[in-house]
Each structure stands twice: as structure tokens, then as C-alpha cells.
Structure 1
Amino acid sequence: MSKRYTEATFEAAIEHSLIADGGYKQGDPNNFDRERCLDPTVLIPFIKETQPAEWEYLTNIQKERTEETLLDDLSRALNSEHEGCLMVLRHGFKCFGKLFRVAYFAPASSMNPETKRLYEANRLTVTRQLQYSEKHNKTLDLVLSLNGIPVATAELKNPMTGQTWRNAVHQYKNDRDQNDLIFKFKKRALVHFAVDTDEVRMTTRLSGRNTRFLPFNRGDGTGAGNPENPGSYKTAYLWEQVLKRDSFMDILARFVHLQVEERRVGGKKIRKEAMIFPRYHQLDVVRKMVLDAREASTGNNYLVQHSAGSGKSNSIAWLAHRLASLHNDHDEKVFDSVIVITDRRVLDQQLQSIIYQFEHKQGVVQKIDRDTKQLVLALAKGVPIVISTLQKFSFIVEQIQKLRENNEIPRDLLDDDGILPARNYAVIIDEAHSSQGGESATDLKGTLAAFQIRDKAGEYAAEHNLPDYEGEILRTMAKRGHQPNISFFAFTATPKYRTLEVFGKPGTDGKPEPFHLYSMRQAIEEEFILDVLRNYTTYKTYYRLIKSIEDDPEVDKKKAARALARFMSLHPHNISQKTEVMVEHFRTFTSHKIGGRAKAMVVTSSRLHAVRYKKEFDKYIAEKGYTGIKTLVAFSGTVIDPDIPGKEYTEVGMNDGIREKELPERFASDECQVLLVAEKYQTGFDQPLLHTMYVDKRLSGVQAVQMLSRLNRTHPGKEDTFVLDFVNEPDEILAAFQQYYEQATIGERAEPRQLYELQAKLDAEQVYYKAEVEEFCRIFYKPRINPTPVDHAKMNTCIDPAVNRWLGL
């Protein structure tokens, strides 16, 4: 192979791009302090330039030992378990009582020239073939440093010489010692890239052969990989965009964070840490939405179709933080508050943890976990980021009235009409398929845009001399429409037609499409989720398979085949027979999966079926004397079995006192193996050990996708999944998944004229009379908070004649 096409040529091309166009300087490997694992010839001049007073203070005390003292204290902070590289980069370190900064990040606005000057003083360097350890002379192809501190490494391979990114991954796993300081978790480099001319992989933690490298590719169409890049490398985006000075500084400041998970196992607290570096699609979607919101200001909708496995929680957290501090070209804040709508309890913890690492201060995020009063006060005070469920907005008008009457809210936080002052809001919706419609969504818009709605409707009513009830009709109609002070950022893996209509942007064919897409196909191909349809089978197919095993003379002697043949001949129709099939299948095929930790879910058709399945499972397991299989059941409310009068069943009671909030954690433990569900855990339930699903319920469309997708989470040792379906047809399930495998589409768009056509038909049949409609409106839109029982009766009186006419058609 000609020298023009070697790995060194590839290395030189990246270095040249970073220095010529990326804002880097060339690092000298001879200046690298291998003991401290940093370059003092870059760090010390940076500190002298940006912090002259602190440097002079230290010099007066330490004299000729000033540099050594500073470098020793910096090394101690970098090597500390409680500080580490990321925290020191963001918040500095102490030396002789003074705070020294080792980096300055870009401010949210340009109002302070000094912060801009300090940001521009940062020195990014790229060093080739760096000998990084005292213990040996091994070298790294590329090391990127910020003010002399290594923050990223890269091993490069050139397919033209017969090596790819896989060889770079092998090199990191087998030839790089995780105990060398540059690779020590949290201590120095925060990310490591395995790069060739076609693809990129990354990791934030070296763990020998157990190291997990993640794809860092743009995606090719709706699949994995990278598209062609005429005139350059497919992976040029890495150094030309992602690692470019301003981009990389932004990632270090506002994306990278330490994720900490704590749980108790056998009374002992287990702490698990992971350094999170954004995947390409996460970086891309957050930046594109922020840029659009900055340029377009408020009043816009954004739909993000990101598959399970996309890291949606982190994307939402990063977006919320960025929007809360977003300024436009005039250095004005774009949004006064960011509201995150979610039903997931874990999301608020992630948000608070991530944003505290960025801001290092409390009070930026408030979770609404008590009542609507808490929500009212948070909105009135203008808390930067508020996390709430959508349902709490349904009661907000009544709550504001109560708080005002009881003097529980300062008068200066609301105007004279008891509404929020004119403000701009960003509303981030987690799982948009279940949150975009209904009265709760209307109440949310009505609350956040109350100031604008009141003024706009009031002007129109005054101009046209409308009575009070018609003014109230105008306000109600306005609540349902577009609100110029609210931007919606909606996330979902499975957008329904209605979701596309509300939040999508017009495509080339005029139909709405997502603002950003990370498809199920790409997530499967990149191995972030498993393909749950690969081992999907109906009971009829499964029975034929087992029967063929039974009839095969070569296999018939096997004990497992004989046992299966017995219960497969049951042709189960009732719960007890299906229970036997499920339990025996679990014990025979599932229980040994994932190192013996695999779990199963039974999807039942109703709460009553869930109760009966729970009783049958426990009865069958007890009769057989089986161990290693214990069940939990999940359903809401209280269930009465008509076959057992007087007996009431609740989830907590059937689970031996385990509370609803505790159930996911208990199911995650080695104590429980099977979860029986009825209308619960269809979305937002993330259990990687879930391997098998038994379906005894009709599923269709998005519901089928959401339900079966509970299985797709990856876990070490989890190589496949299994679905045994007693009810549905394979073609229907496949068709449901096809809709979301690449990009959701919409059929016929909703047309307002369809409503007018319906109105014309009803008018022609004289189903209702104008006087009845007007009388109903006078009552319904009275200027009061709650209707009286008399009002309710009068409204029914208005409706009943129209109902009778309709029934008589």
C-alpha cells in the first residue's frame, strides 16, 4: 500500500483539519508530564493570562515552587474520587485557599465582555503519537487537551490498510491499561474514540475486555452507519463539526455529565457511576431545536420521533437546561420558564442531577410532586424548570381562586384577574402520544397563555359589543388554538396520526413529519435495542413446532420434548390451562436466560383477568412445589370477582403489601420473576431483564408496538427475546411495527371542512335549534369557576330535545 494511504496519512489529515479550521494548536508530545498526565507548558500560561491576581498571590507565598505547588494541588483534585476531571474543568480547584480555574466556558449571553474574553483564552491542543505513561512507551494516535489537561483520546484505523474501527476497539480493550492515569475513570480523558474512514465508536470508561463502545454515527437514511460524503471521509463530521473548538467546548460544558444510580441489594447500598457523553443523534436534535427556537422565537411545535434505546431522558434533560438559559440575538431570554410534562418519576431525578452538575446551584429545577398549589406557586414565581404531570393543570384555575381567597399567594405574583403575567414558555412533552390531546392539554395552554387570551378575547368582545357568555366562548376557543407565547417540544417513539398533525412540520409532500428522527431500525442495527419480532410466535405456530419435535424419532427421546408435548396438547382456552403453558415454558426456556436472571411479563385483557391469572399462577406453582418463580401483579383500583361475591382485590393486597411505587424495584430484584399486568407499564417501564412476554389480549397499532417494546432493552448476556401470543395474528403485529420501523407517516389529513359538512347534515335534519344552542352556551359559559347543580340540570334540559331528535332519525 502506498504511503499516501496509510494510517499516518489519515492521522495527519485530522490533525491538519483541527489546526487549520477547528481552533486547535499543535501539541508537543515532548512537553507532556507523564507523571501528572498533563501539559504544564500549556496550563501555566493559561492561568497566568486569565487569573493574574491569583497567580501573584500564590507566587508571593510559594516563590520558586509556585508551579510545582499549583500542579500538585491540581493533580490531587483531578485524581480525587469526589472531584475529578469534569468537575475541575467546570468549577476549578483550590490551592492555598484560592480558587483557580482551568477552563472558561461560553456564557449564555454576550452581555459580559469579560466572560467572552476569558472563554476565548482557552487553549485546545491536538497531540499526535503521545507517550502518555511513565510505566511504558506506548503511544496514542491522537490526544485532545483543554488547557493542557487531556479530555479525549482517539485510535485511528484505515480500511485501505486492512484495519477498521473494530481493530481500534480491540486495541483499547486489550492493549490499553485502564489503570494508566490518562484512562482512569473520571480522572483525565472523558471520552475515547475508535475511528476509521467509515464509522466511529466511543466509550467513556475503559474496563478491559468488558469495555462497551457505542456507535457515534450520523445514521445512513433511517439505518445505521454514515452516508457518503463526496470529496471527504464519511467520518469527517467528527473533527469538522463535533470536535471543532466551539462545539467541543459546548459539549464539555453542557452535555457531558456523571450519571449516578444508587439502589439497595440485600440491605446494602450499591452505587453505579457512568460518564455520559452524548450520542450523535442526541447532540444533533438538541442543537437543532435550540437553534430553531433561538431564531424563530416562541409559538412553534417540534416533534421528535426517537426510538426506544435513544437515550430520550438525557436528550430531554439537555434540552430543558439549554432552553432555560437560551438568549436571542438581542441578549433577551427566549423562554421565562421550561415545563417538562412527564409521568416518569426517574426523569425528575435525572434532570436535577444533570443540571446541578452544570449550574452547581439549587432551585433551578422544581418537581411538582404534591398538589396543584405547588404548581401554581412554581409558575407564579417563574421557576426556571418545572416538572409536572399534565393532569395537574386540570385543576389549576380553581386552585388559583382558592389561593387568592385564602391569601396564600402573594398578590404581586398574579394580576388583578388572578392570572399569570405575560411570559414565554417552553413545554417539553415526554411520551407525546399520550399527552397532546384532551382537556388537560387545553387547560395547560389556557393557563400559560391566559394573559394573551384574556386581552385578545377582551378586545374582540368589546369591539363587537358581545355579552359576557360569548366573551367566555371566545376565550375557550382561543385556549384550544395556537399560542404565540408557548413552544412545544414533543418526544415519542410512536407518534399517532393526531400527534403528527399537532406537532409535525410539513414535509415535501405537504404531510406532517417529525422535526428529528432516530428510527427503530437504526436503534436495532446499532444494538441499542433488540428486535422483539425476531422471536415472536403465536400459540398455534408454537404448538405445531413442538408437535413436530414430538413426532421426530430423533428428538422424541429427549426428556424436554416429551414434557413439552404433554402440556402443548392442552389447546388452552381457559386461564388455568394457559397458566400451565406459561409456567412450564418459563421454567423450560426462559429461566436460564441472562445468566439465570431472565424475567417474564403476562399481558392480560382486563383487571379481572389479571386477578384471576395471579391466583392461578400462585396456585399452580404451589401445587407443583416449584421454586425460583414468584409472581407480582399490576392493576389499578379495586377489583371484585363476580364468581367470589364480597371479596375485593387490590394490587397491594395481592402483592403481600408491596406498594405501587416499590413494585418496579421489587420486580427488578432476584426475588420476583413474572409480572402480570392489566393496562399498566405499557410505556415508561424500563426493565432490561425482561426477556419473555405472554400475550393474552388483543393488541393493535401503537398499543402493540408499545407493549411488545417492553422487551427490547439490552443487558449484558441478553441475546434475544421471546413472545408467545395466544390472541393476535402475526400479520397484524408486523403491520403495527412497520409504521414505526423507519418513520411514522400519516394518511388523510384532518380537514375542518369535514366538520362543516357534518354541521350541514345536522342542520338539514334539524337535529338542534339555534335557541337551544344559545341557551346552553349562556349557562355553560357563565363567568364563574364551578357550575351549580341547577346549571347542570338546565344544560341537560337544553341537550335532551336534540338527543331525542337524533335517536328518532
Structure 2
Amino acid sequence: MPGCRDPYYDLIVVLSDRILLEDQLADAITSFLSPHKIFDCVRSKSSSDLSKLLVGLKFRIVITTIQKFLGLSDQIQVYRAVAIIVDEAHRSHGKSLTRKLHRFLTGESRQSRRITYFSFTCTPNANSLEMFGVRRDDTIAPFYTYSMKEAVEDRVILDVLGDYTTVTAVASVSVRAEAREKIVERGFEATRALFEETSSARCGMEQKAKFVVSHLVRKLQKAGNGFCAKAMLVVPNRPTILEYKLLIEKEIELLPAGQRFAVVACFAPFFASERCEAGSDARPTSERDERVNGVYHKDALGAFKDPGSMVKLVVVADKLRTGFDEPMLSIMYIDRKLSGEGAVQTIGRLSRIASGKTQVCVVDFVNSRSEIVEAFRGYWGTTTLSALRRPPVEKAELDSLASYLNSVGVARSEGSEGLEKRVGRSHLEACLLRYCELCDRLQTESGELSYRRAMAALKQLECKRASRAMGELIECVNVSVLGLRVNGSGKLCIGEGTHELKIRKQTLQALKFSSSPKIVAPV
């Protein structure tokens, strides 16, 4: 670099795990370096392009996604010293891609002393703390913490919990006499199934669409100080995006001309019909389809980010829930279950500072106020992890279980039916449960089977068993949504102090359903 003599690092790699994040990081880095006459920076276009950049070393700063390392050749380029700057460290590392990255840069699959990581995350989970945290006595903590609490107090970000409203669906439930006793016996499982039936009911979605449109119109009318407010609706999946968009557009058509606005949908391509199979003539549904986003189909996200555009609302499932940086975003509607780091990352999209933006607003149709407080409490101050000792016997059992579960196909993305036939449901469930318990106790996982994949397989078995039992009961129930009721509104307050991270144990306990009836929560 100009003005630098004998720089310590031969190469600086800026890593992210999403193209949208890569775009934002590239813009931020370029805008910082350009005034200092530093142009030794480049973005990789593909895996082959990344390979040429790293081997040729024409640029010392390379911005890329970690997925591009998967397509690299076996050629090894050993550097004296490499700096890796990582964004969203809680989800980007600890997998085979990381080993490929290390091997390409240093010739070793494990992290070498020649590599220095500078890793950033707003939501440090157990994996990221174990990889990048600092051990102090019996605790693992981040090397440095600038907490959300401090950032809010310093006005670096806005308090996203300053105006939080939970909305409850008021439903009428009629049950045939023969099913009443069974529903009472099944307790929480039956209640949860009724929640899902009510939440996904067409009449429930229509009520929520009306609420979103009328609420957003009021908020847009109140927006002042030259600030252009934008809103986001977060839903469970991509088919629901399309349903909501149609319902919202119908409500917008009923508004006076001066109050109307446009809505777009952003999502990764998918087959909207289950009948569409690979190799058929069917084309996946995409946000670039004119029938989905109309006149905005060429660049729906660009239209949303344009302050002069009529687009005021974007409907998403996963695509923009994390890493999306848009200061105009100030209103969020949530119609999906959120917890832990997912809740913090999703609602945190509202925190960006902008001229004229004084506060943000959240309307939640699914989660309770206490659940959101609990999610943010884990990351409001300093997040730590117990540095538990790992008994050799239990560690050996964990590795043995991982090897067995991997050999029968749990690590592969396949349905549970084939696994059940080969292994047996009860035996498979017992092995998965024991593996997850050991991961919780030892705060680790095997390289052969990730904790997340084991939990997903276990949850699939649990849900499948519950759905079999609940399917017949739900057929005996008629649910109709009568309206929506504001259940709570105002600022959510987070407690002080350091939070001990226990994400894995909480996740595991969530699968053990109680048989006693529970009070109905917001749906």
C-alpha cells in the first residue's frame, strides 16, 4: 500500500457469508480507503477469479464470500501472514469451508499462527465464543465488547425496543364432542397445533393484512422532519410471502388515492408448487418475475431503498432478516416465531441511524413481550460462555455417536422416513437425544455431525410424531379468527449485567413438551 513500509500482513481477506453483506462491506471499505489514496482492494467475482487473485497477489485486500472458497482448486498458496476480517462470525465459521480456507492460505487445515482473525458479531453464540473468545478462569468471553446498551446510549444505533406492540388474534374455536377429551389430554401439543392452525388460517392472514395496511398508513402520515419511512413484514416462508403480498395489495386498492403505496416481495427463487419436479418444464418463482413484483420486478430491493419510490413495504422470510442495512427502515411487522440470536438479528435491522429518524416501531403478531425481552437480554450487555471441562469418556462417547449417526445418513440432507426404516425410530431418536445432551454438557460438537443438524433431525422426528397425533384432532376443530386485539404496547426494558449463554440447553428443552394445558399466548 502507498505510504506503508514492510506491511505485517501479506494478504487481508474480508469475509462474509452473503452477497448482500459483501456488497455493503465493499462499499464501506472502498469509501474509507479511497480518500487515503489506497486502491489496493478488489472484490472476487467467482471461485476461479478468487483463486487467481489469491495466487497472483496483485491486490492485498480481497473482499469475498466464504462460499467461493468451496470451488477453489487444490493449489496451495502459503502466505507469511494473513489477516481475515469476518462479519457475522456467529454463523460463518467452524465448518468444512473454514478448513478449505485455511488449507488454501497456509497449507494446513487447522488454523495456523500465520492467520489472524478479526471477527465481529452482534450476537455471539456458543460456537463463535469457543472459536474466537478469550478464556478467563472458567469463562469464555469476547476479546472486546461494545454492547448494544452502550451503542444505544451513545446514539450509534437506535433502541429497537422503544415502541413494541404485541397483537393477539381473537379466535372462535369449536370442537366436536368426541375430540374434546383428547385435546385436554394432549395439553400443550394440542394448544400449539391450534395456534398454528389459527395463525395460518386464511381469515387470520386477512385480518393481519388489514392491520398492517391501516397501521402503516397512519405511521407514514406521521413521519416528518424530511424522513422517508420504510417498513418490513417478516413471515415464516416464501409461499406465505406471496399470499401476504396479494392480500396487502387488495387492502391498498381500497385506500384513497392519496394514501396508497406499493409493496414488493424479496426472496430466493423456489418452486411455488410441490408438483414441480427437477427436470420438468416448470420454472422456479423468483422476485424478478413480473407477475410477482409488477413494474418493480427488475430491481425490487432497489425500488424499496429508493426514497422517492412509492414502495414503502417489503415482505420477506429469510433473505433480508440478517445483514440488511437500510437506514430508512423504521417499521417492522412480525408474523413468525423468533428467538435468541434470530430475534436480535431480525429486529436489529431497524437500528440504523438516519437524519430525521427519531424512533422505530415493531408490531408482533406471534411472539410475547417477555420472549423478546429474554432474547435481547442475552446480547444487551456482555455475553459469556462457561468454559466447562470436557471429560474424556463423555467426549469419546460424543465422537462415537457422531460417527454412527453420520454413517447412517443423519448428516446428509434427506427425509426422516428413510432413516427410520434403516435404523428404527426409537433407536434413532435416543441416539440423537443423547448426542445433543452431550453437546450441551460439554459445550462442543463433533466435526462429523454439527449440533444444528442433529437438532434439526431430532425436531423433525418430534414434529412428525406430533403431526400424526394432532392431524386427526385438528380435523375435529373449526377455527375462525374474529379479529385482532392489541395485547401490549410500549417500551421493552432489558436488565443490566453480564449474560451467561445457555442457548443449546434452552433449544433442547424446547423439544420436551409438557402434557399439562397452557394459557393461550399471542398468535
Q: Report TM bin, short chain.
A: 0.5 to 0.7
Q: Report Cα offsets for 1:167-190 as digits up to 9, x if no partner.
A: xxxxxxxxxxxxxxxxxxxxxxxx
Q: Report Cα offsets for 1:245-299 as digits up to 9, x if no partner.
A: xxxxxxxxxxxxxxxxxxxxxxxxxxxxxxxxxxxxxxxxxxxxxxxxxxxxxxx
The aligned counterpart of 1:506 is 135
The aligned counterpart of 1:593 is 223
Question: Does residue 652 in structure 1 map to residue 288 in structure 2?
Answer: yes
How has the CA–CA distance of structure 1 residues 584 and 504 changed in structure 2, closer, same or farther, with 3 Å as cutoff? same
Question: Does residue 484 in structure 1 map to residue 113 in structure 2?
Answer: yes
| Aligned partner of 1:435 among 92, 97, 112 | 92
Whole-Å Cα distance in 1 between the matches of residues 47 and 275 of structure 2? 41
The aligned counterpart of 1:534 is 162
How has the CA–CA distance of structure 1 residues 728 and 748 changed in structure 2, closer, same or farther, with 3 Å as cutoff? farther
How has the CA–CA distance of structure 1 residues 681 and 636 changed in structure 2, closer, same or farther, with 3 Å as cutoff? same
| Aligned partner of 2:148 among 520, 536, 541 | 520
Tell me the SS of whatever aligns to 1:719: coil
Return the index of the structure with the highest Cα Rg. Answer: 1
Superposition pairs of residues 119-268 of structure 1, within 5 angstroms: none
The aligned counterpart of 1:732 is 371
How has the CA–CA distance of structure 1 residues 699 and 519 changed in structure 2, closer, same or farther, with 3 Å as cutoff? same
Which 5+ residue runs of structure 2 have no aligned equivalent? Answer: 172-200, 428-523
1:711 maps to a residue whose letter is L
Question: Does residue 395 in structure 1 map to residue 26 in structure 2?
Answer: no
The aligned counterpart of 2:398 is 758
The aligned counterpart of 1:376 is 51
The aligned counterpart of 1:670 is 308
Whole-Å Cα distance in 1 between the matches of residues 337 and 275 of structure 2? 24
Question: Does residue 340 in structure 1 map to residue 8 in structure 2?
Answer: no
Tell me the SS of whatever aligns to 2:145: strand
Residues 78 and 104 in structure 2, CA contact (< 8 A), matched pair in contact too: no
Whole-Å Cα distance in 2 between the matches of residues 367 and 648 of structure 1? 29
Whole-Å Cα distance in 1 between the matches of residues 38 and 52 of structure 2? 20
Question: Does residue 582 in structure 1 map to residue 212 in structure 2?
Answer: yes
State percent identity of aligned pairs: 29
Cα shift at 1:344: 2.8
The aligned counterpart of 1:635 is 267
Whole-Å Cα distance in 1 between the matches of residues 31 and 213 of structure 2? 41
The aligned counterpart of 1:707 is 346
Cα shift at 1:657: 5.5
1:667 maps to a residue whose letter is K
2:8 maps to a residue whose letter is V
How has the CA–CA distance of structure 1 residues 361 and 711 changed in structure 2, closer, same or farther, with 3 Å as cutoff? closer
Q: Report Cα offsets for 1:454-500 as digits up to 9, x if no partner.
A: xxxxxxxxxxxxxxxxxxxxxxxxx2x33222111101111111111
Tell me the SS of whatever aligns to 1:638: coil
Cα shift at 1:393: 0.2
Residues 632 and 667 in structure 1, CA contact (< 8 A), matched pair in contact too: no
Whole-Å Cα distance in 1 between the matches of residues 117 and 146 of structure 2? 19
CA RMSD for the aligned pairs?
Answer: 3.6
How has the CA–CA distance of structure 1 residues 483 and 802 changed in structure 2, closer, same or farther, with 3 Å as cutoff? farther
Q: Report Cα offsets for 1:117-149 as digits up to 9, x if no partner.
A: xxxxxxxxxxxxxxxxxxxxxxxxxxxxxxxxx
Question: Does residue 602 in structure 1 map to residue 233 in structure 2?
Answer: yes
Whole-Å Cα distance in 2 between the matches of residues 704 and 669 of structure 1? 27
Cα shift at 1:376: 0.7
Residues 591 and 599 in structure 1, CA contact (< 8 A), matched pair in contact too: no
Question: Does residue 496 in structure 1 map to residue 125 in structure 2?
Answer: yes
Whole-Å Cα distance in 2 between the matches of residues 528 and 348 of structure 1? 21
Whole-Å Cα distance in 2 between the matches of residues 647 and 624 of structure 1? 34
| Aligned partner of 2:83 among 426, 431, 456 | 426
| Aligned partner of 1:746 among 385, 392, 408 | 385
TM-score by length of 1: 0.42
Cα shift at 1:516: 1.6
Which 5+ residue runs of structure 1 have no aligned equivalent? Answer: 1-90, 92-106, 110-326, 328-332, 401-417, 454-478, 544-570, 777-791
How has the CA–CA distance of structure 1 residues 615 and 739 changed in structure 2, closer, same or farther, with 3 Å as cutoff? same
How has the CA–CA distance of structure 1 residues 395 and 760 changed in structure 2, closer, same or farther, with 3 Å as cutoff? closer
Cα shift at 1:805: 5.5
Question: Does residue 620 in structure 1 map to residue 295 in structure 2?
Answer: no
Residues 334 and 365 in structure 2, CA contact (< 8 A), matched pair in contact too: yes
Tell me the SS of whatever aligns to 2:384: coil
Tell me the SS of whatever aligns to 1:347: helix
2:333 maps to a residue whose letter is Y
Residues 340 and 385 in structure 1, CA contact (< 8 A), matched pair in contact too: yes
Residues 591 and 597 in structure 1, CA contact (< 8 A), matched pair in contact too: no
Residues 611 and 649 in structure 1, CA contact (< 8 A), matched pair in contact too: no
Whole-Å Cα distance in 1 between the matches of residues 391 and 53 of structure 2? 37
Whole-Å Cα distance in 2 between the matches of residues 752 and 375 of structure 1? 42
How has the CA–CA distance of structure 1 residues 373 and 657 changed in structure 2, closer, same or farther, with 3 Å as cutoff? farther
Whole-Å Cα distance in 1 between the matches of residues 391 and 319 of structure 2? 35
2:288 maps to a residue whose letter is V
| Aligned partner of 1:721 among 353, 360, 384 | 360
How has the CA–CA distance of structure 1 residues 381 and 750 changed in structure 2, closer, same or farther, with 3 Å as cutoff? farther
Tell me the SS of whatever aligns to 2:346: helix
Question: Does residue 447 in structure 1 map to residue 86 in structure 2?
Answer: no
Cα shift at 1:752: 7.2
Whole-Å Cα distance in 1 between the matches of residues 419 and 337 of structure 2? 38
Residues 696 and 725 in structure 1, CA contact (< 8 A), matched pair in contact too: yes
Q: Which has the higher contact order (CA 8 A, sep 6+)?
A: 2
How has the CA–CA distance of structure 1 residues 801 and 662 changed in structure 2, closer, same or farther, with 3 Å as cutoff? closer
